[in-house]
Amino acid sequence: MPKVYSPESSVRKLGDSQTRNKNMNIDDYYFDNDDIMVNKIKLRTQLGVPIDKEISKNFDLGINEYLKKFKDITTNPKNIRIPYNNRWMKIEKPDTSKPLTKAMNIILLALISDFTVMMNAGLPHFWGYNFDKNDLIMTVSLDHAMYFHHNHTSTTEKSSTKINFDITDWILFELEAPITKNGRGYITGRFFEKSSGNLIASISQEVLFRSQPSKQKDTQNTDTIDMSSSIAKNLIFDKPFPTNFTPSSNHNPKPKL
């Protein structure tokens, strides 16, 4: 389980990182957010702040207010926001005395498994060094697979398997996008139970998205393309997260964070 601060901790990262693109929210990077799913299910989410100071500092590159305050961030190619994220999630308990069934816990986890997934592939391209340098045209998920991991138990008579977790208690959703190339991004994710730290489910998703460098107005009032964002066109992270801090690209080999 990733080392992050508890959702009850006072250590938080707050700020608005929604760029209001309205294209399926790939470039909306949520912090703490409560949502209503299918008109009745209350979902609570908040950013899982890394205990590691370097990773936490990299997470700051996804805060709009932080980027606007320190303009030099967007001029330094080293400031790539890595496509790695942790998020605490849970479903509010329904107004009933009956606990959720095991089947309902599985169904609800599957429902939230697609929440903010595509956005993770866009983190290096829309924040940090590339803040306000790329425009999203469209995006769509191409596939989504989910795997539930059984807790194995053994008895003298037989072996059995079971899936046991409580979706109304905090679950940590870890996401990473090791490669985004040729208009496609590949994302993997893992769900960890807060109470035990156990890995309870994994997901993988491939996404298609189209973006282009933002048009900037020059002094002659003509449209020009800002090509300084080219560093993020083909980002390949060849080491496991979150220890990878040497993203490579065809345009600028291995810019170090």
The CA distance from 160 to 54, in Å, is 43
pLDDT given at position 205: 95
Whether the Cβ atoms of residue 163 and residue 102 lie closer than 8 Å to each other: yes
Query: Does any domain span residue 50?
Result: yes
Q: Per-10-residue mean pLDDT for the chain, 257 residues long?
A: 89 60 45 66 86 87 72 75 90 76 90 85 83 80 90 48 82 90 88 92 90 61 41 49 44 35
Query: Does any domain span residue 15?
Result: no
Give just the sign of the alpha carbon dihedral 147, 117, 128, 184.
positive
User: 198-217 burial by CB neighbour count: b if 16+ within 10 A, else e?
Assistant: eebbbbebebebebebeeee
Q: Domains in the chain: how many in total?
A: 1
Whether the Cβ atoms of residue 148 and residue 208 lie closer than 8 Å to each other: no
Domain CATH for 124 = 3.10.129.10
Query: Does any domain span residue 184?
Result: yes
Give the domain range for residue 85: 33-236
Query: Does any domain span residue 83?
Result: yes
Query: Does any domain span residue 244?
Result: no
Query: Does any domain span residue 188?
Result: yes
Query: Does any domain span residue 80?
Result: yes
Query: Does any domain span residue 241?
Result: no
pLDDT given at position 180: 81
pLDDT given at position 212: 78
The CA distance from 169 to 151, in Å, is 18
pLDDT given at position 38: 64
pLDDT given at position 143: 92
pLDDT given at position 203: 96
